[in-house]
Structure 1
Amino acid sequence: MHEPGPGRSETVVVTGASSGIGRDTALRYASRHARLVLASRSRETLQTVANECLAAGAAAVLVQATDIAESDQVQRLFDTATARFGQLDIVIQCAAITAFSRFEDLPVAVFDSIVRTNLLGSANVARCALVHFQGTGTGHLVLIGSLLGTAAAPYQSAYVVSKFGLNGLVRLLRQENQHHRGIRVHGVYPGPVDTPVYQTAANYFGRAPRVPPTAVSPETIVAKIVRATGRRRSSERQVGWMNRPAILAYRLIPSLYDAAIGPFLRAVAFTSGPTESNSGNVYTAPPADITAPVINEAGRPAS
């Protein structure tokens, strides 16, 4: 089990903390009385999550609006976190965006933005985390990938491309950090998860996405994240009851998988009614003032 040291709460950085898996991850570590650093593009939403974390038992919370696709903002996040809390023990990268569309119908700028956030953004977070961990000699880095980074599926081309890249990033980071005995790199790969992503995603498909019946709860993913950060070794885990059957079909009977996956998704993952094209949350920008005060145990700004 990872221990932060006698008399000190563990310090946990969560990116993509404003909703979904990131929010639930922050709340779980809050219940463990961790000191939290919460990041996403929305300062206002982060403040709400910070208050929830304090109510759940967090020792302290720092919020900072951060677009992980921008490397300078990620560096500022880590500089601010270490200036306030010193050593960082766990870094969990949950931030991701997606779009539903056939590949050729997806605007180039939307495709590029998704890949930039999901893949290059994850690389930005990983780089800062590993540099910090190499300085302290210890730490857990968790990157949230997807089943769609192992088994491709239609209508989310940019997301699939970014998550395939992320799986490769996790593996090579594990390889490069084998000699750092105190540094662990974990990949957690969920299947469908019941989160707000289906409502906030960009959509150029003509039909609205919906939570598929195969989706698991965010709490299921959070449990695997917490378990990973208790391990003494790096790890990779598929999460979801349909992951392994889907991967086996993808690898062993590819022609059948390719023929079936499109009709299956059109039947279970989209509503029948039409919807207008929109860019969803792809271009949501962080506010001009990208910092917010540390909140102490009493819920007041710390001095």
Structure 2
Amino acid sequence: MRMILIAGGWSTERDVSLSGAHGIAQALGRLGHEARLLDPATDFAGIIPAAREADFAFLNLHGSPGEDGLIQAMLEEAGCPYQGAGPKASFLALNKAAAKALYEARGLRTPAWRLYTGIAGEARLCDLPCPLFVKPNNGGSSLGMSRVERPEDLGQALDKVFAMGQAALVEECIPGMELTCAVLADRALPVILIRPRAGTAFFDYENKYAADGAEEICPAPVDAALAAEVQGMALAAHKVLGIEGYSRSDFMVDAQGRPFILETNTLPGMTPTSLLPKAAKAAGMDFDALVAELVRLGLSARAAKAKG
């Protein structure tokens, strides 16, 4: 098929997007497809014309645009199939506060949270106990995240996020084990245990993408009941957000063994060190097979919508 591989963009995760696109392009070539890279940052106006001529668009964008549903909406207007979540699900999942509100409505356990918007006169007090995590409400790869140990440091952490032009999500810290679980179609993949490298406070950008970053063990060495609960919560989050194709949800497990869902990613990373390819490999699916399955799911979703 003639494809466009949409990657890059102008978010703080641009480099991660382009890094993953390189491996995806090679996989698409091995699968017999012709893929042309299209970067919204340099050719935004070319997206719709290119999509009208393409058989499929493979998205590898992180942050906005991409995970916010904008590009997906443009592709739908152009009548071009693509993999993964549609515009609505993408928008809801990227907005951490909206996603957490939906988790709670579904009965999914998530850390207590507050949203700060940076409007004039907004009180910079928080009734949640420290330590707290402060993060951009829209974004990923842990960019802009801070761990706040004292109430008097909250303002500085909020300013860090506001300087990025974002609202800030303040979230209760759940000390314990970090797990992540991907969903592919209607099944949860093996759970992954994440151990941040020594001396780091959390699973930050360097832990995620550096060669000497966090240790990621798949399948996670946890008991079967916990793994099943995490997989069930990942599937539930996938469904409550209305996601199609695939996703990956992140969790913290407290001292009582209770998993708390943190967020759901609609365009999980596809770099050589990313978690989704690692989970797929543990399930018996190599990288090329994973890419092929994502294309198949995208085409199937398009066909189903055409019938409906």
Same fold (TM over 0.5): no
- The structure with the greater share of residues assigned to helix is 1
The TM-score with structure 2 as length reference comes to 0.31
